[in-house]
Amino acid sequence: VAQARPYVLINVAATADGKIDTIDRHGAAISTERDRRRVDALRASVDAVMVGPRTLLDEDPRLTVRSAELRAERVARGLPEQPAKVSLLAHPGLLRPDSRFVSSGAARIILFVPDAPAAAGSTGGAASPGANPAAPAVEVYRVGIGRVDLTQAMATLVQRGIARMLVEGGGSLNFELLRLGLVDEVQVFIAPLIFGGATAPTLADGSGGLDVRLTQTEAAVWEDGGVLLRYMVDRG
């Protein structure tokens, strides 16, 4: 029986050659102004926004809804002004309380970490908020032994009121979520750029391959030279 989980939507901005960053991995700008507004609206439409560990630590994204109008609309709908921010790390101490991820915007912060190897004898069952050395506002859940169990993390999220979640990379997290069948929808903005480089990150980086089938629901050509592609993940 499939475990309950949030509706999960992956969004990436990619180049015409399918890269989501340059080989230097400094978080290259790919989105256009219009695409940044689209992503802002996507964030405003979800209960939570998730990023992977390397994206969190290297780029320290804010992940906030920038538009005051969209924030006001959320509040009018009875939602928190900002969606929750979700990530995973090897250890809660890696999350800096002064990071933009933690401190930008009035957002609930949810962090998943694995059980320490020393705790391998524990049940690995129900997630429990751990003591939080990072910041008082951060909810820390220990799920999985050695690595974060993403399926269990999703179940925890839905139990904690996250019904719809936007995932904003990076490529490794996207790969893992797709591999585990935890993704419902993929949106790709293709910018008129080529970054090249065999090692530059892509939408789904991981060791091994995937065979994920999609159904296209939208393909829009934008006046800024971009193309927006929207797909639903086929349930096999």
Ligand X SMILES: NC(=O)c1ccc[n+]([C@@H]2O[C@H](COP(=O)([O-])OP(=O)(O)OC[C@H]3O[C@@H](n4cnc5c(N)ncnc54)[C@H](OP(=O)(O)O)[C@@H]3O)[C@@H](O)[C@H]2O)c1
Residues lying near ligand X in the complex (CB under 6 A): 12-13, 20-21, 25, 27, 30, 51-55, 59, 88, 147-148, 150, 168-173, 176, 201, 205
Backbone angles phi, psi at 68, to 5 degrees: -60, -35
Least distance (Å) from ligand X to the CB of residue 59?
Answer: 6
Closer residue to ligand X in complex, CB, 94/135? 94
- 173's enclosing H/E stretch is helix 171-179
d(CA 211, CA 213): 6
Least distance (Å) from ligand X to the CB of residue 76?
Answer: 29
CA count, 13 A, side-chain hemisphere, 111: 28
- CA max distance for the chain: 57
Least distance (Å) from ligand X to the CB of residue 168?
Answer: 5
Closer residue to ligand X in complex, CB, 20/233? 20
Closer residue to ligand X in complex, CB, 47/149? 149
Least distance (Å) from ligand X to the CB of residue 120?
Answer: 15
Extended beta strands in 16-118, E state: 48-50, 84-88, 109-115
Least distance (Å) from ligand X to the CB of residue 71?
Answer: 22
d(CA 38, CA 158): 25
Tell whether the torsion through CA atoms of 91, 157, 74 and 226 is positive or negative.
Answer: positive
d(CA 119, CA 114): 10
* β-pairing verdict for 84-88 and 138-145: unpaired
Closer residue to ligand X in complex, CB, 80/206? 206
Least distance (Å) from ligand X to the CB of residue 225?
Answer: 16
Least distance (Å) from ligand X to the CB of residue 226?
Answer: 13
Q: Give the contacts of 75 (CB within 8 A, at least 6 positions apart).
A: 81
Question: Hey, what are 222's tokens?
Answer: 């934008």
d(CA 60, CA 204): 20
Closer residue to ligand X in complex, CB, 190/233? 190
Closer residue to ligand X in complex, CB, 80/124? 124
Closer residue to ligand X in complex, CB, 79/188? 188
